[in-house]
Amino acid sequence: MASENVVVVTNDNFQKEVLESDLPVLVDFWAAWCGPCKMIAPVIEEIAEEFKGKVKVCKLNVDENAETAGEFGIMSIPTLLLFKDGVLAGQQIGFQPKEALVRFINGAI
Provide φ and ψ at 80, rounded to 5°.
Answer: -110, 125
User: Among 9, 25, 34, 40, which one carries the catalytic annotation?
Assistant: 34
Please indicate whether residue 58 is annotated as part of the active site.
Answer: no
Whether 10 and 57 have beta carbons less than 8 Å apart is answered as no
Active-site residue (options: 7, 26, 27, 37): 37
Any residues with CB less than 8 A from the CB of 14 and at least 6 apart, and which? 60, 65, 68
Instruction: Give the residue numbers marked as catalytic.
Output: 34, 37
